[in-house]
């Protein structure tokens, strides 16, 4: 596992995969199936992994957090960057900081929430976590009202942020006044497009983001890597063609639920058994399963 600091140059070489977390029938973290997922992703050329929302770390037991870190350290290749997540509650992230001090993860993402918070309070909590861990953290901007571009810039300028995962969904990703303000105040190389392949071409070309995250990369990592390479080579027609190939599964994620559909897609495409969903999430309907399997298998076989 990579233990050196994260650099913006890494994002031009690898998509940042955001995998699901496999569990067994008793809801315990399953080392073998998580290793299968990681190896499938790495075999497709991806060398960066982020465990956050798709892994449902919002609801992880604090008592199993150390075990999760052990599983990830053991499973990842020597040159793979692994980023776990903490929070979103303040007390949870501060206790998790104590556990993380025993590991060499170069950065950690703070999960966002708009429940019982203010921007000033968020910034204080983020600062406390980084100071406790003594490493910069990933700032995840998922919706407006969480933190302003000015607040994000303050955290960046104070050296507290390794990079920003930007994931506010827009009907037209090119029309984004918030992102316009953000890139005006923060070096775009500190920004990673955080909503998969669909807005990545616009985010990287118009706004100058350094790279992009993806959930569907877990199904076909080589194809997602090919899209990143096409954008870097300015072959935008090829990048757009690849983006369209991810659309059927992404449409199902948007229609049903991004986390639940990806979790099932990894199983239904034969990559690994992700097991049951950790509550407070639940499984999918039988009718949805057939549609997800078709889209996932087709994407994997492209």
Section 189-205 average pLDDT: 98
Q: What is the CA radius of gyration of the chain?
A: 18
Q: How confident is the model at residue 219 (pLDDT cuts 50, 70, 90)?
A: very high
Is residue 71 within 8 Å of 31, Cβ to Cβ?
Answer: yes
* pLDDT of the residue at 21: 98
User: What is the pTM assigned to this prediction?
Assistant: 0.98
Q: What is the pLDDT of residue 97?
A: 98
Average pLDDT over the chain, rounded to an integer: 98
Domains of the chain and CATH, by start: 8-235 (3.20.20.70)
DSSP string, 110-142: EPP--TT--HHHHHHHHHHHHHHHTS-EEEEE-
Closest CA to 49 of 25, 14, 98, 23: 14
Q: What's the confidence (pLDDT) of residue 100? A: 98
Decide if 13 contacts 47 (C-beta within 8 A).
Answer: yes
In this structure, are residues 107 and 137 in contact, taking their beta carbons and an 8 Å threshold? yes
What sign does the dihedral 248-250-251-255 (CA atoms) show? positive
Overall average pLDDT of the 198-209 stretch: 98
Percent of the chain with pLDDT over 70: 100
């Amino acid at each position: 596992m990579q233990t050196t600091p994260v650099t913006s140059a890494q994002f031009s070489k690898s998509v940042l995969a955001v995998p699901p977390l496999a569990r067994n029938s008793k809801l315990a973290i399953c080392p073998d199936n998580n290793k299968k997922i990681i190896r499938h992703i790495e075999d497709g050329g991806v060398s960066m992994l982020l465990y956050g929302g798709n892994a449902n770390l919002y609801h992880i037991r604090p008592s199993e957090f150390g075990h999760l870190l052990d599983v990830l350290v053991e499973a990842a290749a020597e040159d793979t960057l692994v980023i776990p997540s903490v929070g979103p509650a303040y007390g949870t992230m501060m206790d998790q900081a104590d556990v993380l001090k025993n590991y060499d993860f170069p950065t950690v993402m703070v999960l966002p929430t708009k429940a019982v918070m203010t921007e000033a309070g968020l910034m204080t909590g983020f600062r406390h976590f980084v100071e406790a861990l003594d490493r910069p953290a990933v700032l995840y901007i998922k919706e407006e009202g969480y933190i302003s571009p000015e607040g994000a810039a303050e955290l960046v300028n104070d050296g507290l942020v390794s990079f920003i995962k930007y994931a506010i969904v827009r009907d037209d990703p090119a029309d984004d006044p918030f992102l316009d303000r953000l890139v005006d105040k923060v070096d775009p190389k500190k920004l990673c497009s955080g909503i998969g392949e669909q807005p990545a071409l616009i985010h990287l070309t118009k706004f100058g983001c350094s790279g992009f995250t993806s959930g569907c990369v877990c199904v076909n990592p080589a194809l997602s890597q090919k899209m990143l390479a096409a954008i870097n080579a300015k072959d935008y027609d090829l990048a757009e063609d690849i983006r369209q190939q991810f659309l059927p599964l992404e449409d199902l994620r948007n229609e049903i639920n991004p986390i639940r559909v990806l979790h099932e897609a990894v199983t239904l495409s034969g990559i690994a058994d992700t097991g049951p969903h950790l509550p407070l999430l639940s499984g999918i309907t039988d009718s949805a399963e057939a549609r997800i399997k078709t889209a996932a298998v087709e994407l994997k076989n492209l």
